[in-house]
Amino acid sequence: MHIPTITAPSVAIAGTTDRFPVRRIFCVGQNYADHAREMGSDPDRQEPFFFSKPADAVVENGSTLPFPPQTRDLHHEVELVIALGAGGKNIAVADAPATIFGAAVGIDLTRRDLQAAAKAIGRPWDMAKGFDRSAPIGAITPGAPAASGGIALTVDGETRQSGDLSMMIWSVPEIIATLSTFVELAPGDLIFTGTPAGVGPIRPGQSVSATIDGFETLRVTFAA
């Protein structure tokens, strides 16, 4: 039997032809107070929680995507994505910035109807969050990101999400430190750090643009 050859997923690095190899993708849930409230949660009482996407869910900037199957309620969630160049376990908050290779703009695509159905009966979110091409990401800019800066998303030019990185409940170093108590982090890991309020539906044929101050704009279009 022929052994398959698999190409490791990777993400562009701004200003170079080099690529950043993706090992794993972790995501923080409800890390902006306004988004937590719009999802029916109390942001003042929740510890960080995490879910995952497969590494090959990454999508290149500028792609045209097939509309995902099995959903009638696909949602956008613009996020700051952290790319790790080093790892470890039980990382101290003060040491966390040294693990960062760079950062980028990402979109956590969510089949919201599937997520709601899973929540209602206590099942995992995997098929709602970790489906094919569910993690568009722009080029990674090397270096640790600023703690503040505008973050926004438009659909066909209409602003849907607009906030600031300073609105995060848990900072990037705190996210890295907390996640490292659950798993041993490693170079190549990506961390989606949460989304501000305004998440909403995407329809076939629509174009989505995601921005964070200082980073390459991320654009994807969904086939009609």
Return the C-alpha torsion angle 209, 25, 149, 98, nearest 10.
Answer: -150
Question: Model confidence over 53-103: pLDDT tens digits?
Answer: 999 999 999 999 999 999 999 999 999 999 999 999 999 999 999 999 999
Pairwise CA distance, residues 214 & 156, whole Å? 22
Pairwise CA distance, residues 140 & 138, whole Å? 6
Chain centroid, CA 128 distance in Å: 14
| Phi–psi pair at 94, nearest 5 degrees | -65, -25
Q: Residue 45: is its pLDDT beyond 60?
A: no
Q: Which amino acid appears at position 112 of this protein?
A: R
Pairwise CA distance, residues 224 & 205, whole Å? 4
Pairwise CA distance, residues 58 & 53, whole Å? 9
User: Could you identify the residue written with the tokens 């080029």?
Assistant: 139
Question: Model confidence over 117-174: pLDDT tens digits?
Answer: 999 999 999 999 999 999 999 999 999 999 999 999 999 999 999 999 999 999 999 9
Strands (E), the chain: 10-12, 19-21, 24-29, 49-53, 58-59, 64-65, 74-76, 78-84, 100-107, 110-111, 135-136, 141-142, 150-155, 158-164, 189-192, 200-201, 207-212, 218-222
